[in-house]
Amino acid sequence: MANAFSFALDLRKFADSIPEELVKPVVQKFAMHALSSVVMKSPVDTGRFRGNWNVAVNAVDYSVSEVTDKSGGSTIAKGVATIEAAAPEQAIFISNNVPYAVALENGHSKQAPAGVVALTFAELESMTL
C-alpha cells in the first residue's frame, strides 16, 4: 500500500539476551511505550490521525477508519489489549495508514515538526542502551 506508514522495532537480539520468563513483559513494555509515544506525539486537529494508530500481531493492519480520538485514551487502551494478548514469539506492529501520515511524519504539522515515529524510535533506542 502506497500510503502505508508503519514501523517495527526488532527486539529479538535484546530478547535473546534476557531470561525467557522476562521476554513477554519486556517486549510488552517496549510495545506499550511505542504505542503511547506515537499516539500522544500525534498532532491533533480532528483527532483522526491520533485515532488511527493500529496495533496488530504478526501482520500490519492497513485499515483506515473515520474514528477520531483527540485524547488518545481509547486508541491506547485498544492497542494495549492487543499487545497484552500477543504471545512472546509474535511480532507486534504499530501502524497508521491515513493518507497524510507520511506528510505528518515529515514535519507538515506545527504541532509535530520533528514527526512522531522518529522521536519514538530515539526514545526506544535510548531505553535499550
Whether residue 119 is contained in a domain is answered as yes
Whether residue 33 is contained in a domain is answered as yes
CA distances from 8 to 43, 45, 63, 68, 125 (A): 21, 26, 17, 24, 12
- Residue 58 region, left (φ>0) first, then alpha (ψ -120 to 50), else beta? left
Whether residue 120 is contained in a domain is answered as yes
**1 band by pLDDT with thresholds 50, 70 and 90:** very low
Q: For the chain, what is the domain count?
A: 1
Residues 24-78 have pLDDT tens digits of 888 899 999 999 999 999 999 999 999 999 999 999 999 999 999 999 999 999 9
| pTM for the predicted model, two decimal places | 0.85
**13 band by pLDDT with thresholds 50, 70 and 90:** low
Distance from C-alpha of 67 to C-alpha of 106, rounded to nearest angstrom: 23
Distance from C-alpha of 68 to C-alpha of 15, rounded to nearest angstrom: 35
Whether residue 40 is contained in a domain is answered as yes
Q: Domain residues for 123?
A: 6-10+19-128
pLDDT value of position 23: 76
Residue 52 buriedness (CB in 10 A; 0-12 / 13-18 / 19+)? buried
Whether residue 1 is contained in a domain is answered as no
Whether residue 46 is contained in a domain is answered as yes
